[in-house]
Amino acid sequence: MNQQFKPTILIIDDEASICESLQGVLEDEGYNVSTALSGEEGIHFLANEPIDLVFLDILMPGGMDGIETLKEIKQMFSDTEVIMISGHGTFDLALEAGKLGALDFLGKPLDLDIILEKVEKVIQKIELRHSGKTSLHRYKRPIIGNSPAMQEILMKIRQVAPTNGRVLITGESGTGKELVARAIHEFSRRRKAPFVEVNSAAIPKELIESELFGHERGAFTGASKLRVGKFEQANGGTIFLDEIGDMSLSMQAKILRVLEEHKVERVGSGQTIDVDVRTISATNKNLSAEIEENNFREDLYYRLNVVPIHVLPLRERIEDLPLLLDHFLDRFCRENQRPKMSVTDGALEMLSRYDWPGNVRELRNLIERIVILCPNHAIDVIDLPEEIYGKKTLRGGMQAPLKDARQEFESRFIVNSLKANSWNITETAKQLGIERTHLHRKMRQYDIERET
């Protein structure tokens, strides 16, 4: 067995005894195992923690049975492998589960030797899937890029991950700050403890204190039961304070106190609770400028910014684009059961000229859309959406209507292809995938003449 990688495993079964016995066996083998007693609980867990393998009971009471849970997992977490388990399995159920993407179907009572054998196969499958990618990645969410900027980030992750040093990750929205935070946690000594994410910008100001520190029952109107806050949930692990720059000054003061004292106090309680939490923060704002505007506490900034990591926008590391394209094409072709697609040189050049205001997140969404809508195996310029040609989006100051932009690009691309083939019309037409007569018409249309 590969000693460098142990998959994270989730057991979803309404029988607590099954969860406990299977968890015990797998943990004895060194695996990081969690359990959930319903499909809803399992989906909630997956939304917060990347999981490599799920053992899923097929018959469960409540709103979501095993088949419904399997559908949700494969739709939302496509890289997670699922093995179905059941004491009442039928051939039809096994067939349906297989069609929905289940890796295998095992009957109860479970044979532990077979269980361990299946886990071994999952390890091999995951390692094969990620062979050739950077050695520092989450198997579910890889960090992709060979540019100098990305290599520097990977080096910093390796250096800081084994420590307890606080990290402040900066960069534009959509650059992958969360991936960096998760990688730091995954390769830290806290990796078996929780990774808890808090999006400061998404939580109403009146609720954020309760969200972070928890509250006692009856602490305020609507507090019908005790709530454990995010800092307590992350005890022993890592808390990721995303969009920290959007947090109010009053909450900043309370965060500072937690960082200094390593204690939290639930809303409505006079008692403090010790917490051992590593803090990673992220923001798309310039915190130095926010300090000047009195929007961010300088003392908190220096507490958080022990190790700074800046993630460049995609336009400033455009050399990573081919790797990212290959990754997203592979992923979405598998998810949509399509043969592997490629990108023509012309489309790659146009994508490389695009400014990517939404960064890697925008690229991911674009490729998913193209894989779903494009009927061809090769993505060409004509398959790219209109925003790729839009005003103020092309690097180099190119601003033109869609028709003019396409014609300018096509003309330049034909000239470059002719030059590459020493102005051989036959070879150039073959490379472009068009007839010689079509190429001659294009040359006349764009007044392209052989250079002397």
Q: Among all chains, which residue has been given the structure tokens 């899937």?
A: 129
pLDDT, one tens digit per residue, over 93-108 is 777 888 888 888 888 8
Q: What is the pLDDT of residues 368-393, one digit of tens each?
A: 999 999 888 899 888 888 778 554 44
**pLDDT at position 264:** 92
- Do the beta carbons of residue 86 and residue 107 sit within 8 Å? yes
Task: Please give the C-alpha separations between residue 227 and each of 200, 212, 231, 233, 250, in angstroms, as whole numbers.
Answer: 18, 10, 12, 10, 21
User: Residue 138 corresponds to which tokens in the numbers above?
Assistant: 């989450």
Which of 31-35, 76-80, 282-286, 343-347 tops mean pLDDT?
282-286
Neighbours of 450 (CB within 10 A): 10
Which whole number is the average pLDDT over 322-342? 90
Grade residue 240 by pLDDT with cuts at 50, 70 and 90.
Answer: very high
- Residue 94, φ and ψ in degrees, nearest 5: -60, -40
- Angstrom distance (rounded) from CA 35 to CA 85: 14
CATH architecture of 8-129: 3-Layer(aba) Sandwich (3.40)
The residue ranking higher by pLDDT, 48 or 417, is 417
- Confidence class of residue 43 from pLDDT cuts 50, 70 and 90? confident
Query: Quick one: residue 222, left, alpha or beta (phi over 0 = left, psi -120 to 50 = alpha)?
Result: left
Q: At 79, give phi and psi (nearest 5°).
A: -80, -10
Burial class (CB in 10 A: 0-12, 13-18, 19+), 175: buried
> Tokens 């394209």 correspond to what residue?
325
Of 236-250, 265-279, 357-371, 391-405, give the lowest mean pLDDT range: 391-405
Which position has the higher pLDDT, 237 or 96?
237
Average pLDDT over residues 272-296: 95
CATH, range 148-310: 3.40.50.300
> Is residue 142 reached through a cis peptide bond, with omega within 30 degrees of 0 on the bond before it?
no
Q: Give pTM, 2 decimals.
A: 0.59
Q: How far apart are CA 95 and CA 104, in angstroms?
A: 10
What band does 404 get if pLDDT is binned at 50, 70 and 90? Answer: low
What pLDDT, on the 0 to 100 scale, is given for residue 395?
54
pLDDT at 406: 66
- Segments of the chain assigned to CATH 3.40.50.300: 148-310
Which class is 317-445 in CATH? mainly alpha
